Amino acid sequence: MSSIKKIKLFANCIPVKGAERSLICDLQRNRFDFIPNDLCEILILHEGKSTTEIKYIYKNLYDEIIDEYIDFLLEKEYVFFTHHPNWFPKMGLQWQDPFRINNAIIDVGENFEFEKILFELDSLKCKAVEFRFYDQKAIKIVNDILNYLQLKKSIISSVGFVLHYSEETTEHILNAIISNNSRVAYFVITNSPKNNFIKSLSNNVGYIIYTKDVVNDATHCGLITNMSLVINTKLFTESQHHNTCLNRKISIDKNGNIKNCPSMTESFGNIKDTTLEEALNHPNFKKYWHITKDQIEVCKDCEFRHICTDCRAYTENPEDQYSKPLKCGYDPYTNEWEEWSTNPLKQEAIEYYRLQGK
Amino acid sequence: MNKNLIIISERNDKSTNNVLEWLDYYDIDFERKNVDSDRSDFCIRISTQETTTSVSDCIVWNRRGYMSLLPTHLKKSEWIGYLKKEQFPVLATLEKSNPKNYIGSYVHELENNKLNNLQAAAKVGLEIPKTIVTNNKQDLLNFVEVNKKYITKSLVYSPFLEKKDCYYKGNGTIVVDFEKVSEYFAPSLIQEYIDKEIEIRIFFILDNFYAMAIFSQNDLKTQIDFRNYNDVSPNRCVPFELEATTLAKIKEFVSLIGCNSGSIDLILTPENKFVFLEINPMGQYHWLSESCNYYVDKHIAELLIEKVVYE
Ligand code: SF4
Ligand code: SF4
């Protein structure tokens, strides 16, 4: 045993290198910090060595900077010193899930037969479902859905609703629904007069978001901003192997077409005459499931790639399934977040998807 | 032909539910018998040749609790204390009737004797804290060294106290304040306080051992017992690899006390020694599995399936 302690990252603090800067993703405390790329390199190449060794490797030219870096890492509790670096293995980045489908988006249209859809989702053991409504008068259907789930003791354990603002969407009414139904994960009320976030009354489930965003059809989806970053082990590990939007997802658009997501063009049959099971078994159904951020243009150079979700329905080049999400305004080469919709380079794709003014 | 798989647990145990989801995924049938469910039939036959029971030819995973063998109305009767005592040897016989394929043990959980465990740990060569069990101050003072800290914890059962309008349950470790110790007291276990670099939590089931390091030392609030969780900035919990000699001793220890699943607490001292603290036969592993991304649930399902299919 050498008497000099070696530097070790806590295994749940993982550096991710981007084109111009890097992140340390703290998967345990659900936060991140920006770090310069040269520090990221030190961590990736020289973890397990002593400070003296690291300084020597850099020819003792940067001793002060290295000391500063290490002070920062210690203060944030990203690293520790140990005589036995090999006792502390890296965390495995495997991602596993016992469900063939684990989330669904259902757009509610005119001939919406919720009993049939819920029955099929239940037999697929899909636990999380989001219902999106594009007109008012939705609360009755919301209640019907929740009552049905309760009556059938459904395996669906988390339901979210996206609804238009109306006199039925007051905080009072929604909270009453939430307190009667432990399944309600959230309400998002669009087309609202103002933005507001109502914390859940219990245990973080059942929150309400009022947003001024105008949502009239599925084209609102796919927005990626610095607000939508999620730092946890589940997403980080899933992102190593799978697509972080479409993996294990099934959807029904407002006309009843079964799709990967309602915004996609390819349909795998209509719910009138096709079961979700049949759609799922279609050879093309899973084609996006394995497209990871490491394969997507631009994203593969982005430091946010493992804490950011993806979008395959709207991409900068609609012909290329590895093209960057259209509605992300981040540029990993300049480190700036900009408004995506006014970017001149995106106008062609915006026209292609008919997203003008949305 | 596949053997029957029986899962004994509590209705709301999350880990059980997770394992069952994986069993479902692999399309394996099982029967769940919860301690809080209504009815579990059983039978033990004793003859001159052999003893057979309803579980002797099954694969059993006793995750939590025990099979509920009593009719519901009796569970609420005044006789419950007596009936539970009578039930105990039955549970013990059921467990013993299937030593190879009965995983987990309620009998061990209930009779988890820290004195036996410490002796067994010492016997296989694991370090243990200096320990005394006594009921008088004189012996205690002869044992302690000046300027050292000592702790006390329960011998077998977590302390509990039931009053008309309140209920107290303790489950931790406290530092002994010698000023407050009486001359003559109830039998108590007192141990030298071990300085820690980190704490090691090990969950094991059959031959699978999973270890996690808990960096609790940085934080004053958790210095005595990390069960007093610190939520604001949780202690760092990361995968840990036990070196071969310690792991071998641990394996010898669990086989000596006859435990095939449970969780073990060790301390790594600043001098890099591993000190055995205790074992909990039905310890939780959810936290460990999530923190280290181990997928223990999936592994448990897979090892049960292996037994169901190949035993
Ligand atoms: S692929 Fe894009 S549009 Fe479709 S659900 Fe995902 S984010 Fe929304
Ligand atoms: S460039 Fe890609 S990875 Fe980076 S924030 Fe945008 S969508 Fe996410």
Q: How much is the average pLDDT of A198-207? A: 82
B188 and B211 assigned to the same domain:
no
Q: How much is the average pLDDT of A100-115? A: 92
Q: How much is the average pLDDT of A163-175? A: 94
Q: Give the distance (Å) from ligand 1 centre to CA of residue B192.
A: 59
| CB A221, CB A262: distance < 8 Å | yes
Q: Rank A16-30, B28-42, B149-163 by mean pLDDT and report only the highest.
A: A16-30
Burial B209-221, CB ≥16 within 10 A → b, else e? ebbbbbbbbebee
Q: Is residue B113 part of a domain?
A: no
Q: Give the distance (Å) from ligand 1 centre to CA of residue A294.
A: 18
Backbone angles phi, psi at B245, to 5 degrees: -70, -40
The residue of chain B with its CA nearest to that of A124 is B25
Last residue of a domain, one of B174, B192, B210: B192
B49 contact A CB<8A? no
Pick from A84, A125, A237: CB nearest B293: A237
- With 90 as the cut, is the pLDDT of residue B311 above it? no
Q: Is residue B98 part of a domain?
A: yes
> Dmax of chain A from CA atoms?
73
B143 and B214 assigned to the same domain:
no
Pick from A87, A89, A98: CB nearest B21: A98
Q: Answer whether A233 sits within 8 Å of B293, measured CB to CB.
A: yes
Distance CA A47, CA B115 (A): 42
Query: Where residue B221 falls among pLDDT bands split at 50, 70, 90?
Result: very low
Domain ranges of chain A: 6-87, 103-281
Q: Is residue B159 part of a domain?
A: yes
Q: Is residue B285 part of a domain?
A: no
For chain A, give the percent of residues with pLDDT over 70: 98
Give the position, in ligand 2's atom list, of the atom nearest the Cα of A329.
Answer: 6
Query: Where residue B5 falls among pLDDT bands split at 50, 70, 90?
Result: very high
C-alpha atoms less than 13 angstroms from C-alpha of A264 in its C-beta half-sphere: 22
- If one compares B67 and B37, the residue with the highest pLDDT of the two is B67
Give the position, in ligand 2's atom list, of the atom nearest the Cα of A308.
Answer: 8
B264 and B206 assigned to the same domain:
yes
Pocket test for ligand 1, best of A225, A309, A314 (most atoms within 8 A of CB): A314
- With 80 as the cut, is the pLDDT of residue B224 above it? no
Q: How far is CA B178 from the centre of its chain?
A: 30
Distance CA A20, CA A24 (A): 14
Last residue of a domain, one of B166, B192, B218: B192
- With 90 as the cut, is the pLDDT of residue B219 above it? no
pLDDT of amino acid A1 = 47
- With 90 as the cut, is the pLDDT of residue A136 above it? no
Long-range contacts (CB closer than 8 Å, 24 or more residues apart) made by B227-230: B227/B171, B227/B172, B228/B172
Q: How much is the average pLDDT of A257-271? A: 96
Strands of A31-35's sheet in order across: A13-17, A22-26, A31-35
Q: Is residue B286 part of a domain?
A: no
Find the angle CA(B64)-CA(B67)-CA(B73) to the nearest 5 degrees. 120
Place of tokens 């395996």: A155
Query: Where residue A204 falls among pLDDT bands split at 50, 70, 90?
Result: low
Which residues from chain B sit within 8 angstroms of residue A29, using beta carbons?
A: 233-234
Distance CA B135, CA B189 (A): 9
Task: Tell me the whole-structure pTM to 2 decimals.
Answer: 0.92
Q: What is the pLDDT of residues A314-345, one digit of tens each?
A: 999 999 999 999 999 999 999 999 999 999 99
Pocket test for ligand 2, best of A298, A322, A339 (most atoms within 8 A of CB): A298
Place of tokens 């002994």: B176
CATH code of the domain covering residue B216: 3.30.470.20
**Which residues lie below 8 Å from residue B17, measured CB to CB, with a gap of 6+?**
none
B260 and B304 assigned to the same domain:
no
- With 50 as the cut, is the pLDDT of residue B222 above it? no
| Token pair listed for A112 | 């919406």
Q: Does CATH number 3.90.930 belong to domain A6-87? A: yes
Q: What is the pLDDT of residues A2-60, one digit of tens each?
A: 579 999 999 999 999 999 999 999 999 999 999 999 999 999 999 999 999 999 999 99
Q: Does CATH number 2.60.120.200 belong to domain A103-281? A: no
Interface test with A, best of B238, B304, B305 (most A CBs within 10 A): B238
Indicate the number of domains in chain B.
Answer: 3
| Token pair listed for B87 | 């039930």
Q: Is residue B289 part of a domain?
A: no
B213 and B263 assigned to the same domain:
yes
Q: How much is the average pLDDT of A170-181? A: 94
pLDDT of amino acid B231 = 53
Distance from CA of B24 to the nearest CA of A (A): 8
Q: How much is the average pLDDT of B253-282? A: 95
Distance from CA of B235 to the nearest CA of A (A): 9
Name the packing angle between helices B114-123 and B244-257 (round to 10°): 130
B135 and B211 assigned to the same domain:
no
| Token pair listed for A356 | 């003008």
Query: Where residue B36 falls among pLDDT bands split at 50, 70, 90?
Result: confident
The residue of chain B with its CA nearest to that of A101 is B25
Beta bridge partner(s), residue B62: B8
Q: Answer whether A98 sits within 8 Å of B213, measured CB to CB.
A: no
pLDDT of amino acid B161 = 82
- If one compares B120 and A356, the residue with the highest pLDDT of the two is B120
Q: How much is the average pLDDT of B188-197? A: 94
B253 contact A CB<8A? no
**Which residues lie below 8 Å from residue A186, measured CB to CB, with a gap of 6+?**
A160, A161, A206, A207, A208, A209
pLDDT of amino acid B2 = 86
| Token pair listed for B213 | 């390091």
Which protein residues are within 6 Å of ligand 2, measured from CB?
A 224, 293, 298-299, 302, 304-305, 308, 324-325, 328, 330, 332
Q: Is residue B287 part of a domain?
A: no
Q: Which domain holds residue B64?
A: 4-105+300-310
B188 and B202 assigned to the same domain:
no
Q: Answer whether A28 sits within 8 Å of B237, measured CB to CB.
A: yes
- With 90 as the cut, is the pLDDT of residue A241 above it? yes
